[in-house]
Amino acid sequence: MKKNKMSIVKPPSFKELVQTYGSPKKAILHLIEAGFSPEQIQWKMRVPYHRIRLYLEETDLRERVPFSRIVEVYERLAVLRSKKGKETELAKFFKTANIPLAIKTRFAIGTLADENLRIGSGLIERSISMATGAPLSQVRKLLIDYGELGEVAYLLKKPKKSELTVREVYETIRLLPKLEKVRERELLVSSILRLSTPLEAKYIVRLLLGDLKLGYYTKTVIIAASKAYEVPSEIIENASAILGLPETIVTASKNVLKLSEVKMRPGQFIRPQLAHLYESDKVVYPVRVEYKLDGSRLQIHRWGTQVKLFSRRGIEKSQTLPEIVNIANTFNAQSCIIDGEVIAVDDFGKPLPFQSLLKRTVPRKLEPKELAERVKEVKVTFKAFDILYLNGQELIKNPLLIRRQYLLEVVPSKYIVEGMNCQNEIDLMRFYEDALKKRFEGIVVKNLNAPYEIGKRTYTWLKLKPERDTIDCTIVKALYGKGKRAGFYSSFLLATRDPTEKKLYTIGKVSNIPEETMHILRTIIEKTKTGEDEEGVFVKPSIVVEVTYQEIQETDEYTSGFALRVPKVVRFRTDKTVNEIDDVGKLKKLYELQYDRYPSQSL
C-alpha cells in the first residue's frame, strides 16, 4: 500500500497575494498588518523597496512610459552645444505625447519636487555602493578621479534591460522629503538605482543632487515652451513668478488667453523683487530711501481669517513665527499681500543682529514646547516696505508712490520700515549717514515711479551699505591646517557663480573663523566632500557665506581673474542657496567702482 507523501506548504508569492487581495497596495498593507516592515517585505517578497513605499502612498504605477525616453532627451541635450539647439530640442520634448506636461517640465528643469529632498552626496555614495555592490572606498576613489557622482553611478552599474518608468522615477524622488529616517532614504535611492541602467543611474543621481549638468538654465526652458506653444516668453516668465513654471507651461499649452490673465492671489507665494548695488547714475530723483534691516525677507498673505507667511525662498513660516501672524491680523484689509522683513528685537524693540533671528527661522516644524522656548528667548517683529495686493486688486503695476499710500492705510505705522523721500543726492547721503549712526546695515533707494517687478533684480531698487559691499559666495574647498590648527581645516576656498552657466569661479580664501564654527563646518564638510588632494578636500557647494573685504585685486591666482584682499565672513546665509550667490559680473563691477566710491587713502 502506497503512503501519501506529505507536501510542503510554501508561503504565497507577492503575485499570489496581489491576486488574493486585489491590488499591490492591499497586498502590502496585509503584510504590514502581519508585522512585516517595508525592509522585510523587500527581502522576503523580492519587491523593490521604492515600489513598496509607492504602493503605501497609493501611487498609480500603471503608466508604462519607460524612463529611458527621458534619458534619450538628456543625452541629446548633452551633445548640443548651442543654446538655440537646446531650446529646439526641449520644445520638441514638450510636444511629445504620453507624458503629462507638468512632469515633462519638471524633468526639463531638473527639479522634481519643491521641497528639500533631504539627501546629500554622502547618502548618494552609500546608495550607489548598496545598489552596485561596489565598496564605498571604490565609490569615493572614482569620485576623486571623475569629480561627479552621476558619472560614478554610470561606471559602476552593470548593463541591464531598462525596467523603470517615468512615473516611477518621478514619484520615487518626490517621496524622499516624506521619509524621516536616513536609512529609509538610503533604501529608497539604492532600490531605484538597482533597477536602473547605467545611463539611467547617471541621471537619477543628477536629479537627486539638483544638477543635470546639461548646460542650460530655467530661461532656456521658458524659451523652449514659448517656441512649442507660440506664447511670448515674457508672458510665460511673468506667469511663472506666480504659478510656478510647471503649471504655467501646462496653462500655455491649453489656453494662451488664460495665461495672460493670470492674477496673483493671497496664499500663493510671489517671487520677491530684489535690489542691485547702488550706482549714483541709476538714481532718478525724487526717490524713496529706507533703512536696510538686518533681517530675513518675509511675505505676509492674509485673506479673511487666514494668514500665511513666506520666506524669500517660498517656505511657509506661520508655525514658527506666531507673533507675525498676530501682527498680520491687525492689518486694515479683507485680503492683502505685504512685502517686508522679519527682524529680531530686544526687550526695548531695538533690532538685534541677524544671527539672533536664526533661532526663530529654522527650516523645520517645531514642537510646541520648543517653539515656546524660542519665542521667549528671541522676540521678533515685522517691518513692511511694500504692498502687492489689496482686497482683490493687484497693485504691482502702480508706481511705488501710489503703493505706499495703500501701505500706510493697511499696515499700522509701527510695523512700517522707516524712511523718507529725498529730492537730491545731498538729502540721500545725509539719510545714509544717519542710518549708519543708528547702526542699520545701510539704505535701500527706490524709484517712486517704478512698478513692483516680480522675481527680478532691478535698478529701481538700489542697496547702499558701508565699507566695501559684501559678496555672497560658496565654499568649494576646505584646506588643511598647520601648527595649532593641525587636525582641523584652517581656511576655505570661496567661489562665485557664472551668470549664465552652471560654473563656479574661485575668488579667494577666508580663514577668520572661530574654533566653534570650525567644528560645525568640519561636520558639514565631511558629509559633502567630493574629493581630496594634498592641500585639502573638495566639497559639494552647499554652504553660502556673506563676506566683506578690503579690496578687490586683479590676479591669475584664482579662476575668476580677481582676488578678495583680506576677506572676512560676515555671516552664514542659510536663507540662500548656491543658485542665489553673487556672480562674477558683480565682482567685476565692484572692482571697477571701488576707487570711485571709496577714497584710496581709506584702504
- pLDDT classification of 588: cutoffs 50, 70, 90: confident
pLDDT at 11: 73
Give the model's pLDDT for residue 600. 32
What confidence tier does 118 reach under pLDDT thresholds 50, 70, 90?
confident
Q: What is the pLDDT of residue 505?
A: 94
Region of residue 489 (phi > 0: left; psi between -120 and 50: alpha; otherwise: beta): beta
Fold of 48-262: DNA ligase i, domain 1 (1.10.3260)
pLDDT of residue 599: 35
Report, as an integer, the average pLDDT of 535-554.
86
For residue 92, give the C-alpha cell.
520638441
170-184, 196-210, 477-491 — which is least confidently predicted? 477-491
Look at residue 513 in the predicted model and tell me its pLDDT. Answer: 75
Domain span(s) for CATH 3.30.470.30 in the chain: 274-464
The mean pLDDT value of the chain amounts to 88
Q: What is the mean pLDDT of residues 148-158?
A: 94
- In the prediction, which pLDDT does 414 show? 96
- For the chain, what is the radius of gyration of the CA atoms? 27
Least confident of 176-185, 203-212, 405-414, 526-535: 526-535
- Residues 253 and 229 sit within 8 Å (Cβ to Cβ): yes
- What is the per-residue pLDDT for 7? 64
Q: What is the pLDDT of residues 478-494, one digit of tens each?
A: 987 654 554 567 789 99
Instruction: Give residue 1's pLDDT band: very low, low, confident or very high (50, 70, 90).
Output: low
The pLDDT tens digits for 242-271 are 888 998 999 999 877 888 778 889 998 998
Greater confidence (347 vs 61) lies with: 347
What are the CA-CA distances from residue 130 to residues 127, 136, 329 (Å)?
5, 9, 52
Q: What's the pLDDT score for residue 135?
A: 94
Where does CATH 2.40.50.140 sit in the chain? Answer: 471-602
In the chain, the amino acid numbered 9 is V
pLDDT at 597: 40
Q: How confident is the model at residue 471 (pLDDT cuts 50, 70, 90)?
A: very high
More confident call, 175 vs 519: 175
Q: What whole-number distance in Å separates Cα of residue 210 and Cα of residue 468?
A: 33
> What is the pLDDT confidence band of residue 467, given thresholds at 50, 70 and 90?
low
Please state which CATH class domain 471-602 belongs to. mainly beta
Question: Is 2 one of the annotated active-site residues of the chain?
Answer: no
CA distances from 189 to 32, 102, 263 (A): 21, 23, 39
pLDDT band for position 27 (cuts 50, 70, 90): confident
* pLDDT on residue 341: 96
Half-sphere exposure of 502 (CA within 13 A, CB side): 16
Q: Compute the average pLDDT of residues 193-207.
A: 97
Which of the residue ranges 24-33, 286-295, 511-520, 536-545 would you say has the lowest mean pLDDT? 511-520
Q: Say how far apart CA 576 and CA 267 lie, in whole Å.
A: 22
The one-character DSSP state at 316 is B
Q: Is it the case that residue 149 has pLDDT exceeding 80?
A: yes
The one catalytic residue in 104, 227, 292, 529 is 292
Classify the phi-psi angles of 274: left when phi > 0, otherwise alpha if psi is within -120 to 50, otherwise beta. Answer: beta
Q: How much is the pLDDT for 595?
A: 47
pLDDT at 2: 55
Torsion of CA 494, 83, 70, 530, to 10 degrees: -20
The answer on pLDDT for 531 being more than 80 is yes
User: Among 68-77, 80-89, 310-319, where is mean pLDDT lowest?
Assistant: 310-319
Q: Is 360 helix (H, G, I), strand (E, B) or coil?
A: coil
How confident is the model at residue 297, as a pLDDT?
94
Residue 98 DSSP class: S
Q: Using one digit for the tens of pLDDT, what is the confidence trace for 334-381? A: 999 999 999 999 999 899 877 788 778 765 677 888 888 888 889 999
Highest mean pLDDT: which range of 302-306, 365-369, 467-471, 517-521: 302-306
The residue to which cell 559639494 is assigned: 540
Q: Is the peptide bond before 286 cis (omega within 30 degrees of 0)?
A: yes
Measured CA to CA in angstroms, residue 451 lies from 38, 336, 409, 503 at distances of: 54, 17, 19, 33
CATH 3.40.50.20 fits 274-464, yes or no: no
Q: Which residue has the higher pLDDT, 156 or 217?
A: 156
Statement: residue 384 has pLDDT above 70? yes
Mean pLDDT of 448-471: 87
**Cell numbers at 588, concatenated:** 567685476
517 exposure class (CB count in 10 Å sphere: 0-12, 13-18, 19+) = exposed
Where in the chain do CATH 1.10.3260.10 domains reside? 48-262
Look at 147 and 510; give whichever has higher pLDDT.
510
pLDDT digits (tens, 9 = 90+) for 37-46: 888 888 888 8
Give the rounded percent of residues in the chain with a pLDDT score beyond 90: 52
Q: Which pLDDT belongs to residue 9?
A: 61
pLDDT the model gives residue 589? 84
The CB-side HSE value for 430 (13 A sphere, CA atoms) comes to 8
State mean pLDDT over 143-168.
Answer: 91
The confidence score (pLDDT) of residue 146 equals 82
